[in-house]
Amino acid sequence: MDFKSLVSHSKEYGFVFQSSEIYDGLSAAYDYGPNGVELKNNIKQYWWKSMVQMHANITGLDASIFMHPKTWKASGHVDAFNDPMIDNKDSKKRYRADVLIEGYCEKIENKIKKDVDKARKRFGDEFNEAEFRSTNGRILDRQAKIDDILSKMNNALRDADMEGLKTIIEDLEIACPDSGSKNWTDVRQFNLMFSTQLGSIAGEEGKLYLRPETAQGIFVNFLNVQKTTRQKLPFGIAQIGKAFRNEIVARQFIFRMREFEQMEMQFFVKPGTQKEYFDYWKETRMKWHTNLGTPADKLRWHDHDNLAHYADAATDIEFDFPFGFRELEGIHSRTDFDLNAHQELSGKKLQYFDPALNESYVPYVVETSLGCDRMFLSQMANALQEETVPDADGKDSIRTVLKLNPVIAPVKVAVLPLVKNKEELTKAASDVFDKLKTSFNCQYDEKDAIGKRYRRQDAIGTPYCVTIDFDTLEDGTVTIRDRDSLKQERVNIDDLKAKVFAGTDMGNLM
Ligand code: GAP
């Protein structure tokens, strides 16, 4: 389904709402509705179970969002967590300089795509896209232009050359997308951290930041956790929590927000072994995504060429979102940068005593960092489908179905009395609901014809619908309908729990 349909489905079925909608919304902030919060919690549980509870050497943490301001000095966020920003003097709109330049390249890329489509139509089955792209003169010129622009931009970004970025924008005559004006300010570095003020201390002294990543809460607690759990290297600390970034360009729904949630794990290792663990976590994290049912061809690696100041290797797992392949999760080999920096600025030792070597050292760190909201979006995008199925009379009809993995589906089972105006049926259905609700998130629904109720459950991804009919009153059996196969099976009420459990158990993914 296209992106627009995905956004409207998310709203219509109570997954995601625009924040403060009655005041025309706050950009890049979203609220998770009744089904959204269940799906998000299930994603978090899957992550926590597989990362923390399935690893004897990984433990959890829940650090506070506010941290001592020196934390952000040490981590480099005060000095280096910047985006290059440019304002248009006429429209007063602010843009990320690199996004403007990439937008210009995207337009050239679209022209290439048009040429490819035209040629495909002309040559039919004979058409070989790779050959056409590598031999057609016009396409080669256009591709060379894109490569040249992006290479200049990456060099300017790497060297923090703000003048260089402005020159690229001026040379390409890039206009403000809002007003068409080319009247630009200089490019300036814009720090992405939100700041606020401590009530009791005036001025700079009382300045606090909302954390831009959860990782630093883990670094500063490294020794607290190690000593209280008596873990030996290698071991990990995992955390799920909110992070905040004052993104200049925040768009594409919940993909890039100013307030979002991260699921991060820092794995502390002996210096020199970081490559081995980087490779291990790369594979393990990719498997985590495919185990949930995300098709392998919708995921790919993107190794970083320009490494952050703290990293000696980094890669992204990208997902094929409705707007193209984009970063879903980052895996970073962060060296000993963070622990060293905190050690220096705080004056407190953050070292591990290695009993085998009888010496202390600062461990290296391999990090896995997944955005919970991006994970949510990837699952919605992957699952939402329209398909033709037979209706009650056997005729073709179109249904919208959310084929989420049952383990993360918001509602596991819907309990439906065949008709609502027969008290014996509604009473029997309520009894079934009461039996199941202690084990699963269930919904009771008696409104509308049964076919319509099935469709409502399909649209929110409920894997099982249980229907209570007149036979139930006679023999204590119900029908259970499978969301994907549409098969209906008659089962005894006493066997329902085991049946639903077998299909929705998180253990199926481990
Ligand atoms: N501790 C490392 C770190 O924060 P990152 O690549 O900046 O690395 C990690 O962020 C993940 O957080 C990303 O892969 C993405 O899933 C998520 N993320 C980052 N910025 C985001 C934003 N503005 N909105 C939603 N998710 C975001």
Q: Are residues 363 and 221 in the same domain?
A: yes
Q: Are residues 284 and 311 in the same domain?
A: yes
Q: Is residue 399 part of a domain?
A: no
Average pLDDT over residues 313-337: 95
Q: Is the CB of 338 within 6 Å of ligand 1?
A: no
Mean pLDDT (the chain, rounded): 94
Give yes or no for residue 202 having a pLDDT over 80: no
Q: Are residues 93 and 149 in the same domain?
A: yes
Q: Is the CB of 256 within 6 Å of ligand 1?
A: yes
Please, which pLDDT band fits residue 304 given cuts at 50, 70 and 90? confident
Q: Is residue 431 part of a domain?
A: yes
Q: Is residue 163 part of a domain?
A: yes
Domain, as residue range, for 443: 411-509
| Distance in angstroms (rounded) separating the CA atoms of residues 114 and 34 | 42
- How does pLDDT run across 361-411, given as a tens digit for each residue? 999 999 999 999 999 999 999 999 999 988 777 788 899 999 999 999 999
Q: Are residues 173 and 198 in the same domain?
A: no
Residues forming a β-bridge with 417: 468
Q: Is residue 388 part of a domain?
A: no
Give yes or no for residue 108 having a pLDDT over 90: yes
Ligand 1 centroid distance, CA of 371 (Å) = 5
Q: Are residues 117 and 55 in the same domain?
A: no
pLDDT of amino acid 484: 95
Of 190, 215, 231, the last residue of a domain is: 190
Q: Is the CB of 374 within 6 Å of ligand 1?
A: yes
| Distance in angstroms (rounded) separating the CA atoms of residues 334 and 398 | 49
Q: Is residue 243 part of a domain?
A: yes
Q: Output the residue whose Cα is nearest ligand 1's atom 21.
A: 256
pLDDT of amino acid 244: 97
pLDDT of amino acid 126: 86
Q: Among 249, 288, 327, which residue has the most ligand 1 atoms within 8 Å of its CB, making it the best to mutate?
A: 327
Q: Are residues 203 and 153 in the same domain?
A: no
| Distance in angstroms (rounded) separating the CA atoms of residues 296 and 291 | 10
pLDDT of amino acid 45: 97
Give yes or no for residue 199 having a pLDDT over 90: no
3-state SS, 19-68, equals: CCHHHCCCCCCEEECHHHHHHHHHHHHHHHHHHHHCCCCEEEECCCCECC
3-state SS, 278-324, equals: HHHHHHHHHHHHHHCCCCHHHEEEEECCCCCCCCCEEEEEEEEECCE
Ligand 1 centroid distance, CA of 408 (Å) = 22
Give yes or no for residue 204 having a pLDDT over 80: no
Q: Is the CB of 371 within 6 Å of ligand 1?
A: yes
Please, which pLDDT band fits residue 354 given cuts at 50, 70 and 90? very high
Q: Are residues 91 and 44 in the same domain?
A: no
Question: Percent of the chain scored above 70 by pLDDT?
Answer: 100
Q: Are residues 101 and 140 in the same domain?
A: yes
Of 190, 215, 241, the last residue of a domain is: 190
Ligand 1 centroid distance, CA of 284 (Å) = 19
pLDDT of amino acid 115: 93
Please, which pLDDT band fits residue 230 given cuts at 50, 70 and 90? very high
Q: Are residues 200 and 177 in the same domain?
A: no
| Distance in angstroms (rounded) separating the CA atoms of residues 245 and 212 | 6
| Distance in angstroms (rounded) separating the CA atoms of residues 53 and 36 | 24
Q: Is residue 75 part of a domain?
A: no
Q: What angle do CA 55, 56, 59 make, to 5 degrees?
A: 80
Q: Is the CB of 217 within 6 Å of ligand 1?
A: no
Q: Output the residue whose Cα is nearest ligand 1's atom 25.
A: 256
DSSP 256: S
Q: How far is CA 398 from the centre of its chain?
A: 29
Q: Is residue 391 part of a domain?
A: no
Ligand 1 centroid distance, CA of 197 (Å) = 25
Q: Is residue 405 part of a domain?
A: no
Q: Are residues 204 and 310 in the same domain?
A: yes
pLDDT of amino acid 160: 87
pLDDT of amino acid 66: 95
Of 190, 210, 245, the last residue of a domain is: 190
pLDDT of amino acid 394: 79
CA distances 116 to 113, 135, 139, 287, Å, are 5, 12, 9, 35
pLDDT of amino acid 320: 94
pLDDT of amino acid 159: 87
Q: Is the CB of 265 within 6 Å of ligand 1?
A: no
Weakest mean pLDDT among 28-42, 245-259, 288-302: 245-259
What total of structural domains would you count in the chain?
Answer: 3
Please, which pLDDT band fits residue 326 given cuts at 50, 70 and 90? very high
> pTM score > 0.85 for this model?
yes
Give yes or no for residue 358 having a pLDDT over 80: yes
Average pLDDT over residues 287-292: 97
pLDDT of amino acid 251: 77
Contact 163, 184 (CB under 8 A): no
Q: Are residues 146 and 26 in the same domain?
A: no
Point out the ligand 1 atom lying closest to the alpha carbon of residue 327: 14
Q: Is the CB of 431 within 6 Å of ligand 1?
A: no
Q: Is the CB of 333 within 6 Å of ligand 1?
A: no
Please, which pLDDT band fits residue 101 given cuts at 50, 70 and 90? very high
Q: Is the CB of 262 within 6 Å of ligand 1?
A: yes
Give yes or no for residue 20 having a pLDDT over 90: yes
Q: Are residues 327 and 417 in the same domain?
A: no
CATH number at residue 151: 3.30.40.230
Average pLDDT over residues 347-365: 95
CATH number at residue 7: 3.30.930.10
